[in-house]
A = this chain, B = another copy of it.
Amino acid sequence: MQVLIVHCHPEPRSFNAALTNIAVETLEGLGHRVEVADLYAEGFDPVERPTHFRARRDGNYFAPLDEQRHAVESGGLPEDVQGEIARLERADLVILQFPLWWHAQPAMLKGWFDRVFVYGGLYSGSRRYDRGVLRGKRVLCSVTTGSPAPAFSRDGRGGDIATLMWPIHCSLYYVGLEVLPPQLSYGIQGGGLSYQSEARFREQLEADKARWANRLQALDQEEPLAFSGWNDWDDDGVLKPEHPARWRP
């Protein structure tokens, strides 16, 4: 199996980096090939903007989706985007490793969605959801949070984690990926050690690494989240009354 880990954290010795490292070690130990897209280290530009497109479809009006499709069709996609798409195409399993910042992925990773999931390439009107371009591949978000688990429970003040993950999971499913339940490491406070003692931080790190490595060894037995699909929707994209809603928060 070919695995792509899209890693998003600015500190090379962070808790997130440790989780990526143990994932590489575990997956390679199982005989898989692993590629890491280290967005910060590689200097990925997360901002979708006109200057990425050399041969514009319309030089006077920047419509991002139109330029994306034109770039796909004319072979003019930005080199970094081409590289990320090639990584996705090679992968059987994609892992997104990131901290939850402001109830979502960091801007660096949000922009990876904005720029890499190109219209006319990774999706079109007829190639989305369970007919998506990347169907057959699986994806899993491994997420660290600052607050402890209770804050992210259904009635927690941080917001129900399933609800917070919903926009991200919707986007991954949109391009056809099968979405596995997220791996959650709660209550990680910086590693700058201003809140937690060094000993407490190391203890949690070892526990969360072990839990992650353990899960990765049996990933092939997991079932993806059950989203609704084309057969469930009417022409307006709304669930038919006779089709029960499947997974959603």
Contacts and interface: CB of A to CB of B under 8 A. Distances in A.
Interface string A160-175: 1001101110110010
A117 B102 contact: yes
A169 to B, nearest CB: 9
A62 B11 contact: yes
Contacts of A194: 63, 66, 69
Report the copy number of this chain in the oligomer. Answer: 2
Chain A interface mostly: loop
Nearest to A101: B114
A62 B40 CA distance: 12
A49 interface: yes
Interface residues of A, number: 68
A235 to B, nearest CB: 9
A238 B155 contact: yes
A186 to B, nearest CB: 12
A114 B107 contact: yes
Contact of A163 (B129, B233, B249): B249
A110 B101 CA distance: 9
A148 interface: yes
Given A47-B108, A163-B249, A168-B103, A63 B192 contact: yes
26 contacts: A10-B49, A10-B50, A40-B49, A47-B106, A48-B106, A58-B192, A61-B191, A63-B192, A63-B193, A64-B190, A65-B189, A66-B190, A69-B194, A102-B110, A103-B167, A103-B170, A104-B104, A105-B110, A106-B114, A107-B111, A148-B236, A150-B238, A157-B239, A158-B237, A163-B166, A164-B170
Given A148-B236, A159-B170, 15 more contacts: A10-B48, A10-B62, A48-B106, A63-B192, A65-B190, A103-B166, A103-B167, A103-B170, A110-B111, A153-B238, A156-B237, A163-B167, A164-B166, A164-B167, A167-B167
